[in-house]
Chain A
Amino acid sequence: MATGTKSRPISSFLLRNPRIRLIGLLAFPMTWIIGVYIVSLFLLLITAFWYVDPFSSLVRPGFTLDNFIDVFTVPAYLSTSIRTLFIALAVTFLCILFAVPLGLYMAKIARPWVRNLLAVAITLPLWAGYLVKIIAMRLVFTEQGFFNWAMAPFGIKGPGFSVPIVILTLTYLWFPYMALPVFTAMRQIPHNLFDASSDLGARGFMTIYRVVIPLIIPAIIAGSVFTFSLSLGDYLAARFTGGATQMIGSLIAANINLNPPVAAAFSMIPIAFVVIYLMVARRTGSLERM
């Protein structure tokens, strides 16, 4: 518009100065990302190399690898890391195990209203608070809880608060983050690939193994980044449904006041696990071949 220069000075100024326009666009998000995300993570990393003065119990800046050495050499610490890794992998595996058949059913077999109902059922737990869900699981598996009551006629008794219940609780918490991407990816598989597979002689399992799974691998990896990393960092599930079970998060929580550098060093472990996990996923080539 010809009158634009007069009536809209800011717009026309920005139009002529793309650099300033870019700054205007990114000022807030970049402040947030750099100022809060990156700096706090960086501070965490730095703190991991600091130490606690044994006399004053105050945190002193410096450079020591002792915190990391502790993490890897103190048997209780090491076994906790391994237990946490195992729990996170088990949660991820269970989520995949539930999500793939469910996604297949929802995407390819279910009638539209059943599909919508299931989609709501999957996302419904996301509406409830995180603690609420942990307490719900605690109530189900407590000594006089629902599980023991319902299973009593069959002579089955629950394991009590322990690692398996932590795994179930975390699976319950993070399942939607696996189920939704898997379902979405499944819907995008053209139906005639299923026809073609069976036409070429494949039965159901082979079709799932050779056609469906490879095509939804990116979704499984996306979902597993959530289930895996959220499980690695969690400690309330272990606290309320794990009995004596300790996870990395439990150790961080225990050390955060007494020994912040050790807590910081522990915080690096889940990050390292996730980075290694993503590198392995990348290595397999399953991300590029799409």
Chain B
Amino acid sequence: MALIQIRGLRKTFGSVTAVAGITLDIESGEFITLLGPSGSGKTTVLRMIAGFENPDEGVITLGEEEITHLPPFDRDVNTVFQDYALFPHMTIQENVEYGLRTRKVAKAERARQALEAITSVKLAHVADRLPHQLSGGQRQRIALARALVLRPKVLLLDEPLGALDRQLREEMQIELKRIQREAGITFIFVTHDQEEAMRMSDRIVVFNEGRIEQVGTPEEVYERPATRFVAGFLGVSNILEGEASRAVGGSGASISIRPERIRIEPDSYKSSGEESALVGLLTEVAYLGANTIFIIEADAGARISVTKLNQELPSQNVRFATGDRVLAVWRKNHASEISV
């Protein structure tokens, strides 16, 4: 049985539907990411799991216990907030001790556990400082220590890396993943950054307009996007519709094919049975350093973007130029049919 079961969860704010009835199972020890653009409902779902918002409909179960309407202080989950929410008037040590204090842990034990947690995020030397004396990355790690010291069953992370610069962000991504593995705690991570989601998650839940578009491993959601939204939100995709779809042997339903899975061949090329091909005019070649992007206007009516990794010096490896008639070729099992 899943650790967290969400059934038919719904939440509206005034006339705005933030979460339009979602159902989701989260397994114990899993690193699961709620991914979606802002306003897609992912943060509201997180806040309902934490207990900060009351759902209009639906049920949330944690372990054996229904927690749908329990107050936050009665739930065995803790949150790392987007802007850390450290108490500005307390030292780092006092911040980390706060949750232990609410649980009436004795003073000496409280201090010991808090220091251990601060040490585990490598910040023992700042224990006596106030939050405003710390850098963003340090505050982030203290927010993490403050939540983890309580050993919750589930840790909720609300875009915790959003305010960090790129390098720090990548360090923290690795660090978070390590902590999650070592502590064996279920992490529910909210982000709008698809790369971050791909990098860390066991599973990704893609949100759009208050609904779940798809749930799956990073590979599943990238390779087999269920909807046009997922195909477009995770990476770039070519969508073939109508005539273009039928031209490659499809039923007419939309087909998604990633730009890096397509190669360009001369129009004399004979594709094998395992391959699909569309003939068209090469209209643009853009050199971007690591990659070169080719744009092909297919005769069947589709604009196909092809990405080629530049493993050779492009200037010594020119095979095609704008204005050439070319074939866009890909393996059939790399394309997937999408709905909507």
Contacts and interface: CB of A to CB of B under 8 A. Distances in A.
Nearest to B83: A192
A200 to B, nearest CB: 4
Contact of B98 (A192, A195, A210): A210
6 contacts: A192-B83, A196-B86, A199-B78, A199-B147, A200-B73, A289-B89
B146 interface: yes
A6 to B, nearest CB: 52
Contacts of A197: 87, 98
Contact of B73 (A202, A210, A211, A289): A202
Contacts of A202: 73, 98, 102
B99 A214 contact: no
Interface in B57-97: 71-73, 78-79, 81-83, 85-90
Given A199-B50, A199-B147, A290-B89, 10 more contacts: A190-B83, A192-B81, A193-B87, A195-B85, A196-B85, A197-B87, A198-B71, A200-B147, A202-B73, A215-B89
A201 interface: yes
Q: How large is the interface on A (under 10, 10 to 19, 20 to 34, 35 or more residues)?
A: 10 to 19
A190 B89 CA distance: 13
A201 B99 contact: yes
Contact of B130 (A196, A206, A289): A289
A203 interface: yes
Given A206-B102, A289-B130, A199 B89 contact: no
B103 interface: yes
In this complex, the member of A190, A198, A199, A289 whose beta carbon has the largest number of chain B beta carbons within 10 angstroms is A199
Q: How large is the interface on B (under 10, 10 to 19, 20 to 34, 35 or more residues)?
A: 20 to 34
Contacts of A192: 81-83, 85
B73 A196 contact: no
B143 to A, nearest CB: 9
A192 B160 CA distance: 13
Contact of A193 (B82, B85, B146): B85
Interface of B: 50-52, 71-73, 78-79, 81-83, 85-90, 98-99, 101-103, 130, 146-147, 150
B73 A190 contact: no
B71 to A, nearest CB: 7
Nearest to A215: B89
A211 B81 CA distance: 17
5 closest A-B pairs by beta carbon, nearest first, are: A201-B102, A200-B99, A196-B85, A192-B85, A198-B72
Contact of B79 (A195, A203, A210, A289): A195
A198 B74 CA distance: 9
Contacts of A193: 85, 87
Nearest to B94: A210
Interface in A168-209: 190, 192-193, 195-203, 206
Given A192-B83, A215-B89, A199 B98 contact: no
Contacts of B79: 195-196, 199
A143 to B, nearest CB: 49
B150 A201 contact: yes
Contacts of B103: 201
Nearest to A196: B85
Nearest to A286: B89
B156 to A, nearest CB: 9
Interface in A10-66: none
A202 B89 CA distance: 17
Contacts of B72: 195, 198-199
Nearest to A202: B102
A199 B150 CA distance: 11
Contacts of A215: 88-89
A190 B71 contact: no
B98 A200 contact: yes
A92 B273 CA distance: 88
B150 A214 contact: no
In this complex, the member of A198, A210, A289 whose beta carbon has the largest number of chain B beta carbons within 10 angstroms is A198
B81 A200 contact: no
A195 B150 CA distance: 16
Contacts of B73: 198-203
Nearest to B88: A215
A197 B101 CA distance: 11
B99 A195 contact: no
Nearest to A217: B89
Contact of A190 (B85, B98, B102): B85
Contacts of B83: 190, 192
Contacts of A206: 102
A195 B147 CA distance: 13
